[in-house]
Amino acid sequence: MLDGDWLAETGSEIRGVLKVMVDAGWIPGGTAVVGTGSMWEFVAVGGTHAGDAEHLAAPDVHYDVASLTKIMATWPLVGRAVAEGLMDLDAPLAEHFPGGPYPGGRVTVRQILTHTSRLNPVTWLERYVGTEQDLAEAILSEPLDDEGYRYIDRGFILLGLLLERLFGAPLDQLAGELWSVAGMSSTTYGPLPRSPMVAPTERRIPGTAPTWGVVHDESAALMGGVAGHAGVFTTAIDLGVFARDLLRVYGESQGASGSFAHYLRQSWQPQVPVDERFSRGLAWLVTGDGLVYHHGYTGVSLFLQPSTGRYVGLLTNAVHYGRRRTGLFDLRAAVRTAFTG
């Protein structure tokens, strides 16, 4: 199928599924960017929050991207650290956190990126509130779990703390510099003002205001809203810019060993089998037919197909009506089908 036809058909399909979800009262609304090469199209359906038809979804509305933070902030900064010789993917964390010995000191960055780190899969950080223990040391001090693949957040929390140590700057500043170079002028860590340009997430307690302009993830909130696994807000426009930039780097060069391009290509290759459908690359999920993608709990996703240069970014606040997130699986499945036929 020609790129232009694919773009039009995919945009139409996403628009139709989003409309069904909005009409059924499953989500307030959502936006998407569908692109290939120099072309892109934006989809916007519904509004930003319940009961307010005046505030429409739009490509420049900010959404909390939850775990897309892992690939929009932490993952590229790890690539920068590797390219600058500050980090070795296969060196134990004990090299950077020498205060131990800690059980977690044996874990490597590669294991964190592939979710095989054996770190405690329970993310809650409340147990450390009011203590004097450094968070990184607290996480590293806990016993390691059994071997195997487990998707957890703690590893990316550690990576965010490590990046701050390596570069000597706060994570949000480091990420902001990266986004500025890429031309992503609207991507940022929170907080953001409550406005029609920010989609609120979940109303956690009936009779109260929803979480709005501040991070939805509880552990990231305990960390002040800036963490390696969650906390970023972006727009469909910037998500498209991010996808374009990654695909450009992928397409322009094979990448010398130790370069960011080499790191990117490693990231989009299967590293650890997950099931018969897909594997984990470095941070990203990779399918057998070459699709790479990542999801975020709030109702967001980014899909890229390096072989064709096609991509889709989805932004919804599917948690707005609760954590069942009805219809989100079908929306994501419709996007995967658009790539695989």
CATH number of 159's domain? 1.20.58
Among candidate residues 187, 193, 286, 305, the one with its CA nearest the CA of residue 243: 305
- Nearest CA-CA partner of 176 in 113, 233, 128: 233
53 pLDDT higher than 70? no
For residue 281, give the CATH number of its domain: 3.40.710.10
Residue pair 71/242 in contact (Cβ under 8 Å)? The answer is no
Would you say residue 176 lies in a domain?
A: no
Nearest to 68 by CA among 252, 302, 226, 289: 302
Same structural domain, 131 and 212: no
Q: Which residue would you say has higher pLDDT here, 253 or 331?
A: 331
Preceding amide of 101 cis, omega within 30: yes
Q: Are residues 101 and 156 in the same domain?
A: yes
What's the CA gap between 14 and 18, in Å, rounded? 6
Shared-domain flag, residues 243 and 202: yes
Higher pLDDT, 244 or 257: 244
Within 10 A of 193 (CB to CB), how many other CB atoms are there? 9
Within 8 A by CB and 6+ apart from 337, the residues are: none
Please tell me the predicted confidence (pLDDT) of residue 44. 98
Q: Which of 167, 202, 221 is the last residue of a domain?
A: 167
Query: What's this model's pTM, rounded to 2 decimal places?
Result: 0.96
Q: CA-CA distance, 313 to 238, in Å (whole number)? A: 10
Domain residue limits at 229: 3-72+188-340
Q: Quick check: is 175 in a domain?
A: no
Averaged pLDDT score across all residues of the chain = 95
User: Which residues, other chains included, contact 9 with Cβ-Cβ below 8 Å and sequence gap of 6+?
Assistant: 1, 338
For range 175-186, the mean pLDDT: 98
pLDDT of 303 over the 80 cut: yes
pLDDT digits (tens, 9 = 90+) for 139-164: 999 999 999 999 999 999 999 999 99
Phi and psi for 110 in degrees, rounded to 5? Answer: -60, -40
- State the Cα–Cα distance between residues 341 and 325, nearest whole angstrom: 25
- Total number of domains constituting the chain: 2
Return the pLDDT at 130. 87
pLDDT digits (tens, 9 = 90+) for 271-299: 999 998 999 999 999 999 999 999 999 99
Range 221-246 average pLDDT: 98
What pLDDT shows up at residue 185? 97
Question: What average pLDDT does range 207-231 have in this prediction?
Answer: 96
**Shared domain check, 259 and 126:** no
* 179, pLDDT greater than 80: yes
How much of the chain, in percent, has pLDDT values that exceed 70?
98
The closest alpha carbon to 158, from 174, 177, 136, 138, belongs to 136
Residue 218, domain member (yes or no): yes
| Residue 304 three-state SS | strand
Q: Are residues 68 and 150 in the same domain?
A: no
Same-domain pairing of 126 and 263 = no
Q: How confident is the model at residue 85 (pLDDT cuts 50, 70, 90)?
A: very high
